[in-house]
Amino acid sequence: MYLENLIFDAVDPRRLGGFWEAAVGGDRLTDEADVVETRMTIEGGPVLDLCFARVPAPPSEPQRFHLDLLGGDRQGEVVERLVALGARHVDIGQGEVPWVVLADPEGNPFCVMEHRDAYTGTGPIAALPLDSADPVRDSEFWSWLTGWTNAPGVAPRTLRHPSRRGPLLEFCPEPEPKGVAKNRLHLDIRLEAGDDADEVAAGIAERGGHELHPDWGELPWRVYVDPSGNEFCVLPARS
């Protein structure tokens, strides 16, 4: 298994996908009315696809998963470029902090980070912070799913691709328990040849997650939540 996709719910996939493709320097994979995909390749590290899937209305629930973009010594320049692409400054109660909080064209907050040694070699996305009811438990769950391993960081627990390149996956104490609404961003795991989907489902359950059965018609993938209720999908192995 490996981490393949970062999925955004989008009212306008082409608009939102175009923004993030320009923000991270991605390469367009698909360009359809309902789904846009762009690929971010980290030299010597992971390949992550950012996918933008159409939803009928913008989300309203508190955001539990977001992107931290690399700013560092060029933080101001990066912020100016993103605002020119369609981002805007937002106040989510962050107060006086060294990072800058922006929202993308559909209102999803994200951060442009100051310099941190832990961000060396991350590429344009410095970190992927995920709300967690138990960062130690959830980091072990996601390490098993992705093959990413413990790494230095500022969150209670942090994982990173074994190459030690690409973004950090950070587990942050949740401000409140997960509600019933679906997260507006989620991750996809891809099975590899030889992985058994039912064995993976059993492993997810043994580690505190469980499978969902949404009324979305026939799907080629299976939908789960982690032990803190954050949704993710497990995609079949490529033929």
**Cα 197 to Cα 187: distance, rounded to the nearest angstrom:** 17
Local structure of 131: helix, strand or coil: strand
Would you place residue 34 in the very low, low, confident or very high pLDDT band (cuts 50, 70, 90)?
Answer: very high
Local structure of 35: helix, strand or coil: strand
Q: How far apart are the first and last CA of the chain?
A: 14
Considering the chain, what percentage of its residues have pLDDT values greater than 90? 87
Mean pLDDT of 7-14: 96
> Is residue 147 a contact partner of residue 4, using CB atoms and an 8 Å limit?
no
What mean pLDDT value characterizes the chain? 95
pLDDT for 147 equals: 97
Would you place residue 210 in the very low, low, confident or very high pLDDT band (cuts 50, 70, 90)?
Answer: very high
Beta strand 47-54 with 68-70 is: unpaired
Mean pLDDT of 3-10: 96
Query: Structure pTM?
Result: 0.94
pLDDT digits (tens, 9 = 90+) for 145-178: 999 999 999 999 999 999 999 999 999 999 999 9
pLDDT digits (tens, 9 = 90+) for 46-62: 999 999 999 988 777 78
Write the CA distances from 2 to 66, 177, 193, integer angstroms.
Answer: 20, 27, 12
Local structure of 187: helix, strand or coil: strand
pLDDT for 21 equals: 98
